[in-house]
Structure 1
Amino acid sequence: MAGTVQQSKPRARRGRRRGRHRAMMSEINITPMVDVMLVLLIIFMVAAPLMTVGVPVELPKTAATPLPSVEEEPLTISITAEGTIALMKTEIAPDELISKLRAIAAERTDDKIFLRADGRVPYEVVAQVMGALNSGGFHNIGLVTDTGGPNMDGQ
Structure 2
Amino acid sequence: MKFRRQHQLRCELPGAVPIAAMMFLLLFYLIQNKALLLTPGVPVELPKVAGALPEDYSGALVVALDRKGNLFFRNVAVTLGTLPGELKRAAAGRTNLLLVLQADRRASQESITRVAAIARAAGIHKTWLATQPGLLEKPAEATKAKSQ
2:86 match: 100
What corresponds to 2:77 in structure 1? 91
Is residue 55 of structure 2 the alignment partner of residue 67 of structure 1?
yes
In the aligned structure 2, how far is the partner of 1:119 from the partner of 1:139? 23
CA-to-aligned-CA distance 1:18-40 (integer Å, 9 cap, x gap): xxxxxxxxxxxxxxxxxxxxxxx
2:42 aligned partner: none
CA–CA distance in structure 2, aligned partners of residues 106 and 89 of structure 1: 20
- Partner of residue 135, structure 1: 121
Normalised TM-score (structure 2):
0.53
- Bigger RCO (CA 8 Å, 6+ sep): 2
2-structure distance, mates of 1:81, 1:62: 22
**Aligned length, in residue pairs:** 93
Identity %: 23
Contact in 1 for aligned 2:60/2:97 (Cα 8 Å)? no
TM-score (norm 1): 0.51
Larger radius of gyration: 1
> Which consecutive segments of 4 or more residues in structure 1 shift more than 4 A?
149-155
Cα distance change, pair 83–95 in 1 and its aligned pair in 2 (3 A) = same
Letter in 2 for 1:125: S
CA contact (8 A) 2:51 2:134 kept: no
Sort the Cα spacing of 1:66 and 1:124 in 2 relative to 1 into closer, same or farther, 3 A: closer
CA RMSD of aligned residues (A): 2.8
The reply on whether 1:113 has 2:99 as its aligned counterpart is yes
| Unaligned runs of at least 5 residues, structure 1 | 1-60
Instruction: Tell me the CA shift for residue 74 of structure 1.
Output: 2.6
Q: 1:126 to 1:107 in 2, by over 3 A?
A: same
CA contact 2:50–2:133 (8 Å) conserved in 1: no
- Structure 1 match to 2:13: none
